[in-house]
Amino acid sequence: MKFLPPGLVAAPFTPFQSDGSLHLAAIPRLAASLVRNGVVGAFVCGTTGEGVSLTSSERRQVAEAWKATLPAGLKLIVHVGHLSLGESCDLARHAQEIGADAIATIAPSFFKPAGLEELVLWTKQVAAAAPRLPFYYYHMPSMTGVRLTATQYLTRASESIPNLAGVKFTDEDIPDFTAAHTFAADRYDVLFGRDELLLTGLDCGATGAVGSTYNYAAPLYRRLIQARQGEDRATAERSQAEARAFIDVMLRHGGLPAGKAMMKLIGLDCGPVRLPLRNLTRGAEAALRADLERLGFFGYASAA
């Protein structure tokens, strides 16, 4: 069952206080910013949201806070992936109880599924814990080490998971994305998850995308999408190049911790990251700002 409307889905950062505790009061501003910038959904407690660094209780609190403040027009997808199948199912049930719009789970990454059958059995149980909600498989082999393709998963899971909505595809294997998209046709969403390759994803048929940089640079990506739809290839390619340039800066300055610092720089302070991630020093944050200013980043990235 296809679920999401076309557009950008942000993967929000989980806001923390300076002592590392949850800062749930910051969530309404984050949600309002996404709507103002034309984002259609929020994928919470995923990689960007440091979901695996939260306790299950904290993840429930984050999901509840997002649901309580969810503006009209913004869909809530709750990531419920966990190394424990029981915990993942409990989180899925909770997401359904609070009225989330959909759930997703990544593959277990310590004891990994030995093959396709085990992966589908695992996700089938998670999906069955919230049978009224659309279910997405979060395909991210670079983090899980589970190298089964998204196409393999969709082909097999479509036979046994009635509430399957599709795949969140976070990988660079474009042939696999294309094959998965072809198989999905009008039945499933294959949400593209590499912001630095969005234009390529669109060229291969993507209509929806999930990413961390849509938290602060959605206007740039919307320009890219509109240019491509209007057959203005030059503007689309230029916009993608701008995105790739600031993503390179973000990665050079530490990746996710730098991304969280960028939220602070645009006026949406989400606090620190949790160990084992390391926060940027004041000097590193100043260097990040200087690099972003040279790129013109603050001309299109804002909390407005």
What residues act catalytically? 138, 168
Q: Is 173 helix (H, G, I), strand (E, B) or coil?
A: coil
Locate 228 and state its tokens.
Answer: 């491509």
CB-based contact 49:14 (threshold 8 Å): yes
Q: Which of 10, 7, 5, 72 is nearest to 303 (CA)?
A: 10
Overall size of the chain counted in residues = 304
CB-based contact 49:77 (threshold 8 Å): no
Distance CA 141, CA 193 (A): 12
Locate 17 and state its tokens.
Answer: 């206080």
Distance CA 24, CA 105 (A): 23
Q: Which of 208, 146, 156 is nearest to 177 (CA)?
A: 208
- What angle do the packed helices 214-229 and 233-252 form, to 10 degrees? 160
Those residues with Cβ within 8 angstroms of residue 240's Cβ, 6 or more apart along the chain or in another chain: 196, 198, 199, 224
**CA angle 256–136–154, rounded 5-degree value:** 115
Distance CA 263, CA 26 (A): 12
CB-based contact 31:68 (threshold 8 Å): no
Burial class (CB in 10 A: 0-12, 13-18, 19+), 133: buried
